[in-house]
Chains A and B, each alone.
Chain A
Amino acid sequence: DAGVTQSPTHLIKTRGQHVTLRCSPISGHKSVSWYQQVLGQGPQFIFQYYEKEERGRGNFPDRFSARQFPNYSSELNVNALLLGDSALYLCASSLAPGAMLQETQYFGPGTRLLVL
């Protein structure tokens, strides 16, 4: 079975540009979460979506937005890119928020974004 997939794997942008990152969850998973991992740090929660609805948002500016599609795939959009947005962006999928107490999140390979 395919795991979580993300595209593109790498991306180089310049300041002020816009970027769209894509994620496809594990088959049967309806919840997708996005994380930003800056080099040398742990992942930071950005968004969680379930059934196309935003279920949670981390402490990120409005330049960050996301959406989930009927097939449960998701996009993360970042506008007006800053140098500090350079990071590994991870997508994680799970069955549903709190579906099972032992539920875990399964992470994709990530998209490495470099802003110049």
Chain B
Amino acid sequence: ELKVEQNPLFLSMQEGKNYTIYCNYSTTSDRLYWYRQDPGKSLESLFVLLSNGAVKQEGRLMASLDTKARLSTLHITAAVHDLSATYFCAVANTGNQFYFGTGTSLTVIP
């Protein structure tokens, strides 16, 4: 079974600072996803990364994928309070079944 690990589990950062969330997975996969979840809400799709070296950016968030290292990163630039949420990475197997990481709970402090 695919194992997906994220770190850190909890992240408290000041507005304006940069930080990176890491996602490691155990077996080969051709797709990695990042989702955002606000408290009490469902999951919102952020990025789909398909190939080695893929980089995608949306606003202050940038995601990258290294399939050889089985590692994805979610980089936050100049954090703002609105980014406070829990971020999950997920890896899909060939049957399009998703395996999620433990999540990173991000709190941005004004």
Interface positions of A (Cβ within 8 A of B): 31, 33, 35, 40-45, 48, 55-56, 58-59, 90, 92, 94, 97-98, 101-110
Nearest-neighbor residue (CB-CB) of A48 within chain B: B97
The reply to whether A31 and B96 form a contact with Cβ atoms under 8 Å apart is yes
Interface positions of B (Cβ within 8 A of A): 1, 4, 30-31, 33, 35, 41-45, 48, 50, 88, 90, 94-103
The reply to whether A101 and B95 form a contact with Cβ atoms under 8 Å apart is no
The reply to whether B30 and A101 form a contact with Cβ atoms under 8 Å apart is yes
- Beyond A101-B31, A104-B45, whether A45 also contacts B88 by CB under 8 A is no
Instruction: Specify which chain B residues have a CB less than 8 angstroms from the CB of A41 in the assembled complex.
Output: 102-103
Instruction: Specify which chain B residues have a CB less than 8 angstroms from the CB of A59 in the assembled complex.
Output: 1
User: What's the least CB distance linking B9 to chain A, in Å?
Assistant: 9
User: What's the least CB distance linking B5 to chain A, in Å?
Assistant: 10
The reply to whether B100 and A110 form a contact with Cβ atoms under 8 Å apart is no
CA distance A110 to B39 in the complex (A): 12
The reply to whether B101 and A42 form a contact with Cβ atoms under 8 Å apart is yes
Instruction: Specify which chain A residues have a CB less than 8 angstroms from the CB of B44 in the assembled complex.
Output: 107
The reply to whether B100 and A42 form a contact with Cβ atoms under 8 Å apart is yes
